Structure 1
Amino acid sequence: MTQDGDLDGVVRKRIRGLRVARGWSLDELAARCYLSPSTLSRIETGHRRIALDQLAPIARALGTTLDQLVESVSDEDVVIRPERDTVRGVTTWLLTRDSGPNGVTVAKMRLTKPAGEQRVHPGRDWFTVLSGAVELRLGERRVRVEAGQAAEFSCMVPHAFGSLDGPAEILCILDNEGQRTHLHSH
C-alpha cells in the first residue's frame, strides 16, 4: 500500500475513533458537519474518497484540527530522543514538540554540572526535581532543591541552575524565552 493509502486509512480510523470516543452515532456527526450519514459511513469504511471540503468540517465537528487529523504516523512522532550538550552538562528530552498553551515547553533535563552563568529573560520558570539535588542560583541566593521538591521563580532575577552533589534530573516548564535560554547552547 502506498504512503498516501496508509495515511488515508489512518485518517478514516481517526474520524471513526473520535466519533465513537464522543459517543456519537453516524447521524449525530453527520448533522454536526453537514454531511449525509451515508456519505460519512462511506468515508469511514473507505468506500468513498475523502475530499478536502468534507475533511475540514469533519475535523471541526470532532473538535480537532485538519493538521491533527492528517498528521504523520512515523516513529518520529512517538520516540523522543535526547539532545546532549556536553559542554554545559545538560541532556534534554523535549516532551512537547510544539509550544503548548501560552507558548510553554515541557522538558526533562539531566544535569551533570554545577550552575553556570546567570541569565535574565522575561517570564517565569518552573521545575520539579525528579532525582538528585539541584542548586538554583537567584542573584546572590543559592537555593537547594531536592528530589520531590519544585521551584518557581521570576526570570527577571539573574538565575542559573545545575546539579549539586552529582547528577540530577528535572522536569521543567519554560516559556518561549526560557526555552531559548535554557534549552539551547550559548
Structure 2
Amino acid sequence: MNTLDNGPTDLGARLREARVAAGLSLRETARRIGVSPATLSAVETGKTGVSVPRLRRLATELGTTTQWLLDESRNPVTTQRPRGAVTETTRAWREFPPLDIDPVLTAAIESFVETGYHGATMRSIAHRAGMSVPGVYHHYRDKQDLLVRALDLTMDELHWRVGAARSEAATGRDRLIRTVEALALFHTHRRELAFIGASEMRSLDPADRQRIAHSRSMIQYLLDEDIDTALAEDNRATDQAKAAGRAIATMCTALPQWFRLDGPSTPEQIATAYADFALGLLGISR
C-alpha cells in the first residue's frame, strides 16, 4: 500500500486545518477513519505517513480534496479549501480594540451586567443609550433579541480568536498554551461579554440556548483535543483528560467574576500564568 511520507509536516498542518474547520476533534476524526488518536496526531505532526486510501477517506470526512491536502496548488489543479476554513491567521488575536457595536447593544450589555437580564428593561436600556423606546424597538425586536446578539457576539469573537491562536502552533502542547491564553485574554479584556455569557444562558429561549450551548461546546472540544494531543506527545495518561479540560475551561470562564483591569495583574500576565497552570495540572513542563 502506498504511503505518503513526510513532506507531511505540510500535509499534517493542512489535515489539522481541515479538521478544525470541519469542527471535528482528533478523537472523532480518528474514529471515523479507523485509527487511534495517537496515530492521527503523529500524522498531523509529521511523525508518520498516511496511506493514499486513508488520505482519500480523510478528505471525504473533512469536506475537502486530496489535492488541497497535498498542496498541489503549484500544479495546474483546481483546489478546494476545507469547508469553513479559518482565514483568521493574520488577525491579531492578542489585541482588543473597542468593540464596534451600536449604542443600543452597548447599553444592553452594560445593563445586563449591572442589573441582570431580568432586571433590565427596554426603557432603561433606551435611557442609557440616549434614545427613545420606539427608537430602540426600531433596531431590536425585544430584550431577548439584545441578549442573543450579545451572546452571538461573544461566541463569534471567541471562535475566531481561538482559531487564530491555535493556527500559530505546530504541536498539541503549543496549541494548548495558545488556546488557554486566548480564553484568558478574552475573559479579561471582554469581561462584560464573558460575564453575561456565564450568567445569562438560562435566560435564553430554548432554541437559542441550544444553539449557543453547542457553539460553546465546540470551544471546549478544541481545548479537549489540544489536551489529548499534548498528553499523547508527552506520553502521559489521558484517563483524567476530560476532567482536566473542564477544570481549565472553568478557570478561564471564572475570570470575569474577580478580574479588574486596574488590578495588580494585566490580562497578558494572567494569560501567561493560566497557560502555566494548565500545563502544571496536566504534568507537562513549560
TM over 0.5: no
Larger proportion of strand: 1
Q: TM-score, normalised by structure 2?
A: 0.23
Larger proportion of helix: 2
Q: Which of the two has higher C-alpha Rg?
A: 1
